[in-house]
Structure 1
Amino acid sequence: MGLVEDNDELLVSLHLGRLKTLCRTWPLAILQNLVAVATIFGLDSLDKPSSQRFEKATAGGLMVAATLVFGFVLWRGVSRQWPFYRLKQWLSVMGLLVALATGPMLLIVANAHHGTSGWVAVLTLACTMWATASMLNAVRGALLGYSFGFAFLAPVTALAWGVSILPVLAAVLPPLLFLILKARTVGQLDYDGARDHALAFGQGQQAVKMIAEFEEHGTGWFWETDRHGRLTYLSDKVARDLAAAGIDSRGKVLTELFQMDPSAPGTERTLSFHMSSRTGFSDYTVCAVTEDGTMSDRWWSISGRPILDGIGRFRGFIGSGSDLTEKRRSEAEITRLALFDSLTGLANRQRMTLSLDKTLKQSIHPWRPNALFLMDLDRFKAVNDTLGHQAGDLLLQQVARRLEDVVGDIGLVGRLGGDEFQILLPGIDARDRLAMLADRIIAALSRPYDIQGNEVTIGCSIGIAIAPYDGEDSQTLIRNADLGLYAAKGDGRGVHRFYAEAMLEGARSRKRMEEDLRIAVAQGQFRLVYQPIVSTRDAMIVGYEALLRWHHPVQGHIPPSQFIPVAEDCGLIEQIGEWVMRTACIEAAGWPQDVRVAVNVSSIQFAKPQLPALVAQALAQSGLAAARLELEITESVFLNDNQESHRQFAALKALGIRLALDDFGTGYSSLGYLRHAPFDKIKIDQSFVRGAGSKGSRNAAIIRAIVTMADTLGMETTAEGVEIQDEIEMIRGLGCSHIQGFVYGKPMEAPDVPQSMREHGGHAEPVGLKSLRRPRVKVLRIAQILSGDATIDVRIRDLSTTGTMIEGLPPAYIVGGAAVGIRIGGDTPVRGYIRWEREGRVGLAFATPLPEDHPWLDKTQDEGDGRLRSA
């Protein structure tokens, strides 16, 4: 009934709300009591003067005072926050007192007034009491106290009037029961309402809390607009983000505040369309628009639907959103990593391919050309190996900046990987303009770089292809630019080359040779021949160099100078090198025990960590003594002069084999590596031997310097390519310890080696030409060069048995090693090949020397150096 302590906080809160309402309305109860008292006194003045005015005044004062005391207790308890159940107990007692305080006035009125005025006075008091009961309806305890007091006063008043009590009780009990039941019903309703309110309030509070948490710490938020599209609600977090970007969202129209991302999928219909057509939308990507109309860097995904009132009228939109800023930044970073090189910031291979494809498609309608540069840095690997990869990265970054400075806005620069770069130049096909740009790039990249305090100089080679002339699709254009780059590298690097059809034919020839090489490896078409190495001291054979030969089933003999580079490019050199190593060791094992075998090792094979194990296996399987094996290594291995190279040298020497430095003076000619590399021999390249005896030549001085250095370092020396007997004495006089060349005959098969040594007792007999100078005929005649189906008129000079010098051959036909025919008059053509070219003159070597009585030589002879060294 409200007289005990409530444990439900929400029920207490509900009662407190009613008490506060009663506290605000109770002055009306005081006022109505004053009105009632005044009315009764007014009725008294209509009758004859009463002798009970004092009693009436006292009773009226008591009646008003009781309502004042009730109001004071109510105000005091609410304002001072008395314990709720205790305040209700006080109010129950005060309700009873208010009812009882009305009793004296009711008794006086009942005794003093008769007739109409008496009934009016009683009715006034009754109405006042019922009005007071209605006010106390919200407080069950006070209502019950007042009701019981009213029930007590009714029979007392009946007795005072001298009427039967039973009718009075019959009249009073139903209202009393009604008030009691009403109080009970109010209590039950309070309980049920409090329970429902508690559930709803709890859920509401939880929902509000979750929404606030979601808005503040999550990526989602909520918004609402009025029927005009103006924002009436926007989550605080979004409002703060907009304010931080200088955007005031208060009262803004939604479509003015946000702008859609046209690149996002599903945005065929704009946000304004949905707002004006009052249709829902979902997951539209938008960004905020600043006051000056620019787009901010904040992005959201928003959804919304129209809201209607109870009778179906449009009231606005309500919706939600989520923050896409970090997601888009992450996607942008992923895109950057996917399309840009992380080291240099240039476009990467994927973006360059996409850009090239897109540009070529755009070039169709309307038609316009495009140029593609493919670049490689020269000597970059040496920088990487000597200064480290960090220095290499810094160098690549500086190269990228220089490329961007030179190219500017006319093209897109990209890094494909390593030291390979690509430049796309849309709308340009003028070869002179492209050549100037390529020269500027080469000049810019060839300037010195400051890398960690070290001055570094590199270069670059460039291949150029132009669409649509050199290809209409990206794959063809890239391939042809690569062929141009290959040609630029072959022409000495540091140059640019435009693609030409002949390059494609050369690439196809290399491709065919690669395929033939794979067949040759599988079918065993290779063989080894051996060239003697002779001591200059006693002309004894100390060893043989294993030389690789390939006899093609269709093309016949193919020189190693043609197929070895192809084998290195296609990755077959390791397999071929392993076969050479094993075969040479097996065949040399049957030779005399004091004869060594020399095997060439390519720089690619030397760089493999498995090389020492391969050598050890070849020695073990063949039974060849390690001291009899000599590996010849070219200077190119020192382009990677690092700890790996030093460990490789140490591992090979630990096997007990010998090491020789081949072709000294033609490659990476630095003397620094000779301090560390454990070579046993230096082989002097034939380019120094050739012409060493000629007047004015410096070759002899170079050979003598090399020999002196080798002797100081405790190394042997071998002069390669000796072909003339006169050169033997010259080489011996210069101090070389060994000679190798055709002067001691052609290389022989492995089974012929033991027989040859038995026949000559291990002594080498020279079989080459005796004199350095061959007879030649001074002539000036017209001849014809036969090249394929073409016949070209030329002039010949200095004719000898081994060749001739010609003038007037067009540059297109001057290809080193190219087989041609030569005819004088109506004579039978003589086969030969182009040996050299200098200042418009070409040296032609005959495939077979002419006999001394050949009619072409029937002229006055003159001495001169007309010899053309055989291959």
Structure 2
Amino acid sequence: MPLKGLLSSKGGSAAAEPVAEEAAAAASTLSDAQKLAMLEDLERSGLGWFWASDAEGRLVYLSASVAERLGLALEDLVGRPVAQIFQPAASDGREKPLALRLGAHKAFSGLPVRAAARPDGAVLRLAGHPVSDAQGGFAGFRGTGTEITEEWYREEETERLAKFDSLTGLANRHRMAQLIDSTLTAFRAAKRNCAVMMLDLDRFKQVNDTLGHAAGDELLRQVAERLGRAIDRECEIGRLGGDEFQVMIPDLDDRGVLGEIAMKVLTMLRQPYSLEEGRCVIGSSVGIAIAPHDGVTREEVVRSADLALYAAKNGGRGQFRFYSGDLENEAIFRRRLEADLGTGLAENQFFLKYQPVIEAESRKVIALEAKICWNHSQRGEIDEEEFARILEGSSLVGEIGRWAIHEACSHAARWPETVRVALGVPVPLFTAESFVEDVSEALSEAGLGPSRLDLAISEAIFFGDADNVDRTLARLFKLGVRLTLDEFGSGYSSLAYLRRAPFDTIRIDSRLVAEASGEDEREIGLVRAIVALAGALGMDTLAGGVETMALNDALVGCGIGLLQGPIYYESTLRETVEAEIMGEGWRIDPSSERTWRARRRTVLRKIHVIHDDHSYEVTLRNLSRTGALIQGLIDVPRGTQFVVDLGGGQLAVATVTRSNGDTQGLEFEQHLVDDGSGGLCTRNRVSPYLLASAGKPLAALSPGSYKAMRGQLGEGQPIPQFGYAPSARAEQG
């Protein structure tokens, strides 16, 4: 339909835009020809344009200038439904579809639209109103519009900046708060789970201080990109400011899966970053809380995740932690332990345990690795894993490291010549000016040959002063000590290190070793590649943490030269290993039974076990991924099933596999998982909503009757009346 026909139609022009209204007012004193010429000039100028549809919603007229701006042919548009030609410019569902507006036969204005065929093209503001024919029936729409592309993008950018971080493009603090609030509110009604992770970067301030704030900004952008790649499931990632990030993962309460996600994040974030100003390495710590277990409102859940993050940072950084109710007390206790390190050193409370290193081919013990433990005056024995977490970051790490080298050398001097002593060197000790002199002095005082001392050095040293690192390595090589590159494959690895340093052995990263027995051929392929690389460079390979026969066989098949782990021998007291090693040669064959014993952890705390609708208080003596040892009940037959209440809603179904007097060995139906701090936890917890519906409080399970849970262990079966052992009864009384 030509423009002249539109002007003569009943209802006139839909002058919804100011420009069109002014034009219509001026046209009232002009002839029809002048009016037509004026409106055509207006169309060509781009200040305003017109459109019209018929009663079926098909386009019958469109200003040619609009088609040009949209980059579309006018003849391809006329006759098509208007609702198929244009679509709302906003893609977030804020605007009703155009088809609904047209179908309502009601006037509208100010609607931002784009051409459906060109969603990235010009943005138009559309207005229209319905017109009637001579009989009063609906005849279609007449409308106007203007181009608002620049204005639209300015408004979009303003709105985006209000919700998203301008540096990384992630959601900002305000948007994350809104998202978590709305999600938890909706999930409370649906009784669904939601996990919140808090992340904090380690050593970020050093990057800003040494490379500048521009490098720090670029680093944050790369961190944001890696986070997006690391978490390959539905989630929302935000930057709260500085080097603090937050992740919301809906419908996930499996702590095994969450732990895997956290470890993937930690691994990816600690890989080297290439910046214009230089190369750098950072790390991160992660705290995890899960609604509704660790809080119901946003404030509660975020606070729980914050406490878990604080615990992860205090635990040595580079870790993840799940929230638990005792984290606040634990943080205070850990600070006290750190403060006691100086007293421990002065009062000779530290001692060394040793773990054998086995030659894969001969099964001979060729070295003993020293590990520092602490006989604390109040806490008792603190094992090597917990001690390492307490020591990391302490100002005494160098001094305690020097003590360990002197102590290990004096012990090794009494061993057979065929057995070396090995121990790790913390970065602060390695970078100390007197380090090589300290090593030389320890060897001289003990009368130990340098070739019998094996120093394991982390790849992290290579991110310090390159000249100083090379100079120290050269002096150690000249001294004659053996050198092991520790944690190879952890994410820092570079062939340049191996070319620069005279290493004798490559120790493969424990996570890579642990995955080598899995179904993924790429993991075992990486181990084979490292073995081949080491062989080409004349170096040996060491794999630690070997816990299963399947993993042992896989590593031996790859050609690993040296093995270590609980399947061979756990770390133990010096007197024990010296009694073994003083013979003609100590050989150790791997044994899965040895691993079973070694992986149980001494716990000694009160818990409850539930059988049918009865709850019994017992002592948990030790705990492993697959089972536990409890004490306090008598006359418990093998095959009895318990629900073990580990606290905090953690219930584990277990079967009695051994029973001896007042002590029972339990095997869990579902294995426990790593809690991020060297401990164990159940994958899932009983939902507080379920407890509430069973008449229990929204908190940990408490002693009492559990009739609401009947049926799990076989309802209708006879209930054994287990008695308490005399000592347990006395404790209860």
TM-score range, shorter-chain basis? 0.3 to 0.5
Structure possessing the higher relative contact order (Cα contacts under 8 Å, 6 or more residues apart): 2
User: Relative to total residues, which structure has the larger helix share, 1 or 2?
Assistant: 1
**Structure-1-length-normalised TM-score:** 0.38
**Structure-2-length-normalised TM-score:** 0.44
Q: Which has the larger radius of gyration?
A: 1
User: Relative to total residues, which structure has the larger strand share, 1 or 2?
Assistant: 2
